[in-house]
Amino acid sequence: MLGRKRTDFMCGIAGILQLDGRRPGREDIEALNQRQIHRGPDGEGVYLDGPIGLGHRRLAIIDPAGGQQPMCNETNEVWLVANGEIYNFRALRAELERMGHRFRSQSDCEVIVHGYEAWGDRVVERLRGMFAFALWDGPRRRLLLARDRLGIKPLCYSSTDNRLAFASELQALRVLPDFDARVDTEALDRYLHLQYIPAPLSIYRGARKLPPAHTLVLTADGAAPVLRRYWQLEWRPDESLSESEWVERLDAALGDAVRSHLVSDVPFGAFLSGGVDSSAVTAYMRETLGPGLDTFTIGFDQAGFDERGPARETAEQLGSRHHESVVDLNILDLLPRLVRHYGEPFADSSALCTWRVCETAREHVTMVLSGDGGDELFAGYPYFPKLVERFPVLTGPRRVRRLAGDLLRRIGLLNPVPTLAESWYGRSPFFDDALRRRLWWPDYHDRIGTTRTWHEAQFTRVDRLDTLSQCQSVDLQTYLPFDNLTKVDIASMAHGLEVRVPLLDHALIDTVTRIPARYRMAKVDAAGGAGGDIWCGKYVLKRAAQRFYSWEFLQRRKVGFSVPLSAWFSGPFKNELQVRLLDPAAGLGDWFDPAEIKRLVSEHGQSADHGHRLWSLLFLAQWFSQY
């Protein structure tokens, strides 16, 4: 392979910081570890010292004797448990060794320990990779929790007056004897609207998720915790470069990002859907590693949902060893496993596909690269053109008229028109405000307003940007980490598979955020020429990928990881679905009107398509019954 390192630290981490002078019990740390054994089935580590207890479950890919965690510095005063990969660890190690630091292993995560000694909390700003870690500074009795910039790796925590506990997955925190497992109904309303629960909320009142690009610092003396954002996505378009110059720069940045993610000495594979993102990533892999890659795709024996054909065509062009599998599983049988691993309601039905492709890949390789993040970073979603056309960037007199109209609407002299944020909010295909108002019992109707307020705040943070950049920013900071990346992390770690996402390398992101919006999404003609009337998302990415593929190949319609829920719930699962959702033991009646649930089931396949809504209620009912 391209490079060699001695150990990976894909795993599960956990720990407890006591704030009342007591020592955490080893049995408590081991219980947290045990609930995450699937993330690291090859070994366990525990460290106890005064008020701190750290736990680690390890997936030992290489060198089982090296890089054991928890790990420490030379003086045994700074201790670390970490999950993820640091891709620039060699450069950081060389720099730290020149400063006099002595390393005990070849592990990439040891640079975090010595980096903290050298740069303090700002070590996170030096790391290129995906990570979540907990670092204990013994002399200062200080705990630092950190999560990577885009939220590729998870970290959640539970705080009381007496202690703070953390883990990679929510399900682990449930073992705590004082854990508050009551349902957070604000989080539940966001789940209904979004199909996921965004950080910092979780389904539990007693647990929170550390947001991406944040650190959380606590001290054993009980001082107020300090939450800090250390990185912010910023669009800084550089208009001085031409299209061809940006294509050249992007090509170099893509090659560098993929190469940085290929540092290992174990077999690599790639998820290959036949779409632009995974095809581009796989082509750059092939260019770096040569022939013999393993590629993986899944499909359905149902028209409109099967992408095996395009993926097979891509694999043939690249000369990869291609592996296909058909999703023929009984979703009702798999549902309990999904609920157990995701730990809270999570209704993205493509998790079924992700689960199966991870299961298939793990039979052949230990690590894969994926194209996740391409739609968000390069403007690939089909709703982007519609919103850009509806909310064009105005200049000169047109902008003045728009501002004057906004003022008159605020004082009631003109009828209001939807804003970009309101239009975005109203496009939810799941439970919109009206449906949630019908579903919730009246006592919970105020939760609907909290979801709308949260959504508006996402746009308020980026309202000075052009329309496309606003939409991309919101997706990159909400849907990407709390849906797409959560889905991949949980499904892959459930199978002991490491998934790397080079399109979310922050060095690559620094390049893409300087590309003007008109190159990220452009209007072209049928041949890809400028000046046409066809919106082309991922325009500059496709231009870069033309080194490997034809324009016609790159412009194919992508199926995506879509699941035929509508057909399933209209056919073989409909009777079972109604029984499960309306069973009093399912618990949905605690919050929702059963008559409304029954209406959704009866309407589905007749006068409406409620497939995704019914899946979200089914997942919720299963979660309630298990937890």
Q: Which residues are annotated as a binding site for L-glutamine?
A: 108
Q: Give the whole-angstrom CA distance, residue 124 versus residue 115.
A: 9
CA angle 334, 336, 341 (to 5 degrees): 100
Partners of residue 228 on adjacent β-strands: 215
Phi/psi-derived region of residue 616, left when phi > 0, alpha when psi is between -120 and 50, beta in every other case: alpha
Provide φ and ψ at 103, rounded to 5°: -100, 145
The DSSP symbol for 464 reads T
| Catalytic one of 11, 72, 109, 358 | 11
Q: Give the whole-angstrom CA distance, residue 492 versus residue 350.
A: 13
Cα dihedral sign for 318, 323, 324, 327?
negative
**Contact indicator for 409, 416 with CB cutoff of 8 Å:** yes
Q: Give the whole-angstrom CA distance, residue 40 versus residue 46.
A: 13
The DSSP symbol for 264 reads B
Q: Give the whole-angstrom CA distance, residue 136 versus residue 122.
A: 15
**Overall size of the chain counted in residues:** 627
Q: How far apart are the first and last CA of the chain?
A: 44
Give 144's contacts (C-beta < 8 A, 6+ positions apart). 116, 121, 134, 135, 136, 137, 215, 216, 217
Show binding-site residues. Answer: 108, 298, 370-371
Q: Give the whole-angstrom CA distance, residue 221 versus residue 561.
A: 48
Q: Give the three-class secondary structure for 149.
A: coil
Q: Give the whole-angstrom CA distance, residue 230 versus residue 357.
A: 34
Nearest alpha-carbon partner for 13 in 69, 70, 111, 81: 81
176: exposed, middle or buried (C-beta count within 10 Å: 0-12, 13-18, 19+)?
buried
Provide φ and ψ at 540, rounded to 5°: -70, -30
Helical residues (DSSP H) of 427-582, grouped into ranges = 433-439, 446-460, 467-477, 479, 486-494, 506-512, 517-520, 539-545, 551-554, 565-570, 574-582
Q: Give the whole-angstrom CA distance, residue 457 versus residue 468.
A: 17
Partners of residue 217 on adjacent β-strands: 144, 226
Q: Give the whole-angstrom CA distance, residue 321 versus residue 123.
A: 40
253 C-beta neighbours (distance < 10 Å), count:
18
Tell me if residue 11 is catalytic: yes
Give 395's contacts (C-beta < 8 A, 6+ positions apart). none
Show binding-site residues for ATP. Answer: 298, 370-371
Partners of residue 130 on adjacent β-strands: 85
Q: Give the whole-angstrom CA distance, residue 541 versus residue 310.
A: 18
DSSP E strands in 302-358: the ranges are 321-326
Partners of residue 18 on adjacent β-strands: 163
38: exposed, middle or buried (C-beta count within 10 Å: 0-12, 13-18, 19+)?
middle
Catalytic residues: 11
